[in-house]
Amino acid sequence: MPPRFVLILWPAIDKLLLAIYGIKALKADGSSIMSFHLRRYKGPTKVLNDGTEVKTGDTIMELHLNNGWFKRRRKLNIKATQSTREILGSFEQDLHFVAQQMVDGMFEDVAALHATTLLYVGAKRLGFQVDELPDSLWNRGARFYMVGLMQLYHLRGDRVSRLKEKHWELREVWLSRAALLTKYGLKSS
């Protein structure tokens, strides 16, 4: 976990990365918990659990947390939003939104949704396939950076004891277009 005094750099680094990768909030009004950018997949063919093949050159939607969503709630001192159920509910709403956008013709060439995350347990509950990542310097750096972001933007920040004690593992999560549309394509009443 990064020392508190080093975290002063994290918001600037975060803004820089948002600009470099063109990451934007899913909804124009910034109310979404997810941000995204579209990119071409560069790895070897990835076979997902439902049989979907993501091939080199396919467009994938790279998902990110919208840190502004957490900052707004923290400023408003909204503690109830910290519940896992409410956060997962916000993710579900955004996944319904993405599925509806696909049905309406947006993101029509997206083969799958992808993220690298510390929050893979929640992602699995939402239907994502979870895969381990190799131990590399790049992945260790990404983990260090993401733990720092959690420390900054988590609604209770570093006062959450588990945040400091837990060994956070970085995982890769995938959800195919077909699985997204099957699970989130129609909102149930």
pLDDT surpasses 80 at 91: yes
Is-contact 35 64, C-beta < 8 A? yes
Q: Is residue 156 within 8 Å of 128, Cβ to Cβ?
A: no
pLDDT over 60 at 27, yes or no: yes
Q: Which two tokens stand for residue 189?
A: 């009443």
Answer with the residue of higher pLDDT: 137 or 82: 137
For the cut 80, the answer to whether the pLDDT of residue 86 exceeds it is no
Q: Which two tokens stand for residue 139?
A: 């992945």
At residue 81, the pLDDT reads: 47
pLDDT at 11: 81
The answer to whether residues 185 and 22 touch, using CB atoms and an 8 Å cutoff, is no
- The pLDDT assigned to 75 comes to 63
Task: Show the tokens assigned to 29.
Answer: 């009004």
Picking from 29-38, 45-54, 147-156, which range would have the lowest pLDDT averaged per residue? 147-156
Type of residue numbered 80:
A
Q: Which residues contact 131 (CB under 8 A, 6 or more apart)?
A: 171, 172, 173, 174
For 104-155, what is each residue's pLDDT tens digit? Answer: 999 989 999 999 998 899 999 999 999 999 889 988 888 888 888 877 776 4
Q: Which residue has the higher pLDDT, 77 or 118?
A: 118
Kindly list the structural domains of the chain, giving each domain's residue range(s) and its CATH number in brackets, ordered by start: 4-182 (3.40.630)
